[in-house]
Amino acid sequence: MESQKKFTIYGPKDTLKHLGPQLKANSKPQYYFCYKHKNVPEEIYVFIFEEHQKLINSSTTVNVVLKINEDSAEIDFIVTGGRMGFRGSAITSDRVEPLIQDTVNEYFIDFSKRHGLTMQENIQVQSAE
């Protein structure tokens, strides 16, 4: 399974600069990296989340790249791993906890709603070559 989504959240930089540190504190990623340059106003955060499901022997990895500009935050949300089909999809029907990708995605939606920000999913058009 591979899934990639791109989001843009529009709002003031004072509010957007809390997005990365709060995601780190609330979701506890396995790996975290933050890059801030003195002369460039952009901030770049990289988060890697991993979830292992023992019953179906599969792992799901969620990679989030968060780039905060002056008036927007660009989010690359990439989900890899997991299982689909005959032996992999039965576990989700009786699952008590949500999947890690759903938790991280809901965080961005909730953050946008709480702070009155505009969130837009960027739809990429595939060329028919």
Would you list the domain boundaries of the chain? 2-93+100-122
Mean pLDDT of 25-51: 90
At 4, the pLDDT band (50, 70, 90 cuts) reads confident
Q: What is the pLDDT of residues 81-121, one digit of tens each?
A: 876 555 555 455 555 667 788 888 899 999 999 999 999 88
The third-level CATH classification (topology) of the domain covering 2-93+100-122 is: TATA-Binding Protein (3.30.310)
The mean predicted confidence, pLDDT, of the chain is: 82
Q: Is 28 left (phi over 0), alpha (psi -120 to 50) or beta?
A: left
Q: Are 62 and 49 in contact (CB under 8 A)?
A: yes
Global confidence as pTM: 0.79
- Residue 41 pLDDT: 82
At 27, the pLDDT band (50, 70, 90 cuts) reads confident
Mean pLDDT of 45-71: 87
Mean pLDDT of 31-50: 91
- Residue 90 pLDDT: 46
Whole-angstrom CA distances from 124 to 51, 85, 93, 118, 127 are 27, 26, 30, 19, 9
- Residue 2 pLDDT: 57
Q: Are 31 and 48 in contact (CB under 8 A)?
A: yes
At 30, the pLDDT band (50, 70, 90 cuts) reads very high
CA neighbor of 45 nearest in space, from 78, 12, 23:
23
Mean pLDDT of 55-61: 78
